[in-house]
């Protein structure tokens, strides 16, 4: 995770690399929700590259057959339930929706999208001594509904990572929450698909912004000056608007800079590819707050695994929602404490 890399002592910060090799990059050109995730003490420490965020894919043909408007994806979780039952009652799909990367999409991004803190101290940005807050009122209500839907078939848990993809591509489910980077695969599939922003519960929660996934480019210590010159030139190259625009068109990963998005707009790209704009609009829906700029916790990869283990216990019926989320918090906080003891 980012916190581990920042404190490892093994990296050459990107902002410093660019300064040392006289490469001028205006970091203010970068998308705020992307920049904030990898910024430390006001400086960018790695260069975001294949950045993405979850969006909500749906099968237009199934929508049309169910009497739903194929050009209008659900915008609320209430509509997801309504549409799912209408589709299932008509025998058009076995399930309403599924998801990839359940910890990242059902929990991390759901919390951010509703302006709810995932962890204390600004989701860990402000202190190593953060505590998980996913067993909050919002967390219990949100996961309780998902657990009920799992029993009813409105939702189907298909496993971690990309394991659930086949459920959507085989039309077992009519909808799927997944990375915007899946657009490249969608364009090559036989499914008549559409996409919208991920659903929201509505009042009393604000609609803020989702957070980025994907990966970022770190520069490691211990290499020769001439090698770093090449690294700096390469990072400058991939950060250019033209390269970012090309990468976005081919993959669905979001452009990391405002000029890249403006270039795509000027080319008319979004007029013919409207679904590629969804992730960009969602990331920029509102200015990121301390609770929506991202998550920075020690041992975060292991914490996400714990959260997904406990979600599996909940969806499988071996634990109640409260017990599962409480256990995730307890186990996750133990890892955070152990990490803090090492680096404080």
Summarize pLDDT for 44-75 with one digit per residue, the tens: 999 998 999 999 999 999 999 999 999 999 99
Give pLDDT, residue 134.
99
- Are 154 and 301 in the same domain? yes
220 shares a domain with 73: no
Q: What is the pLDDT of residue 252?
A: 87
The model's pTM is: 0.95
224 in the same domain as 150: no
Q: Write down the pLDDT at residue 290.
A: 93
Q: What is the pLDDT, as a whole number, of residue 186? A: 94
Q: Looking at 260, 283, 306, which one is the last position of a domain?
A: 283
Confidence (pLDDT) at 344: 81
- Report the Cα 108 to chain-centroid distance in Å: 7
pLDDT at 342 over 90: yes
Kindly report the CATH number assigned to the domain that includes residue 144. Answer: 3.40.190.10
Strands 43-44 and 95-99: unpaired
Q: How many helices (H) and strands (E) does the chain have?
A: 18, 8
Task: Dump pLDDT digits (tens) for 96-119.
Answer: 999 999 999 999 999 999 999 999
Summarize the confidence of residues 206-226 as an average pLDDT. 95
Same domain, 246 and 300: no
Work out how many domains the chain is built from and give that number.
2
Tell me: do 85 and 188 sit in the same domain.
Answer: yes
Clarify whether residues 134 and 187 are in a common domain.
yes
The whole domain housing 36 covers 2-52+213-283
Residue 289 lies in a domain: no
**Same domain for 312 and 256:** no
- What pLDDT is stored for residue 35 in this prediction? 83
181 lies in the same domain as 235: no
- For residue 259, how many other CB atoms are within 10 A of its CB? 17
The answer to whether residues 180 and 217 belong to one domain is: no
Average pLDDT taken over every residue of the chain: 96
What interhelical angle do 321-343 and 137-152 show, nearest 10? 130
Angstrom distances, CA of residue 145 to CA of 84, 154, 308:
14, 10, 16
pLDDT band at 32 (very low <50, low <70, confident <90, very high): confident
Same domain, 242 and 119: no
């Amino acid at each position: 995770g980012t916190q581990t890399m920042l404190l490892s002592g093994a990296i050459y910060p990107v902002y410093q690399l660019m300064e040392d090799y006289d490469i001028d990059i205006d970091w203010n050109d970068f998308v705020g929700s992307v920049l904030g995730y990898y910024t430390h003490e006001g400086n960018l420490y790695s260069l975001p590259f294949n950045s993405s965020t979850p969006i909500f894919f749906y099968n237009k043909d199934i929508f049309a057959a169910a009497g739903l408007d194929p050009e209008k994806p659900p915008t609320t979780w209430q509509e997801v339930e309504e549409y799912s039952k209408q589709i299932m009652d008509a025998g058009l799909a076995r399930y309403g929706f599924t998801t990839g990367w359940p910890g990242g999409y059902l929990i991390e991004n759901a919390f951010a999208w509703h302006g709810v803190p995932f962890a204390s101290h600004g989701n860990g940005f402000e202190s190593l001594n953060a505590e998980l807050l996913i067993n909050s009122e919002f967390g219990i209500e949100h996961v309780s509904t998902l657990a009920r839907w799992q029993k009813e078939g409105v939702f189907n848990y298909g496993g971690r990572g990309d394991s659930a993809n086949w459920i959507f591509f085989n039309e077992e489910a009519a909808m799927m929450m997944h990375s915007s980077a899946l657009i490249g695969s969608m364009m090559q599939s036989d499914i008549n698909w559409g996409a919208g922003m991920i659903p929201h519960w509505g009042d009393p929660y604000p609609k803020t912004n989702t957070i980025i996934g994907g990966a970022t480019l770190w520069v490691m210590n211990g290499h020769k000056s001439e090698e770093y010159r090449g690294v700096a030139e390469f990072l400058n190259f991939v950060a250019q608007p033209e390269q970012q625009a090309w990468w976005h068109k081919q993959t669905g990963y979001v452009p990391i800079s405002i000029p890249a998005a403006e270039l795509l707009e000027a080319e008319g790209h979004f007029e013919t590819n409207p679904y590629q704009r969804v992730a960009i609009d969602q990331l920029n829906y509102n200015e990121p707050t301390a609770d929506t700029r991202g998550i920075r916790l020690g041992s975060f990869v292991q914490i996400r695994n714990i959260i997904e283990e406990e979600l599996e216990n909940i969806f499988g019926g071996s634990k109640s929602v409260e017990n599962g989320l409480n256990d995730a918090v307890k186990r996750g906080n133990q890892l955070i404490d152990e990490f803090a003891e090492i680096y404080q």
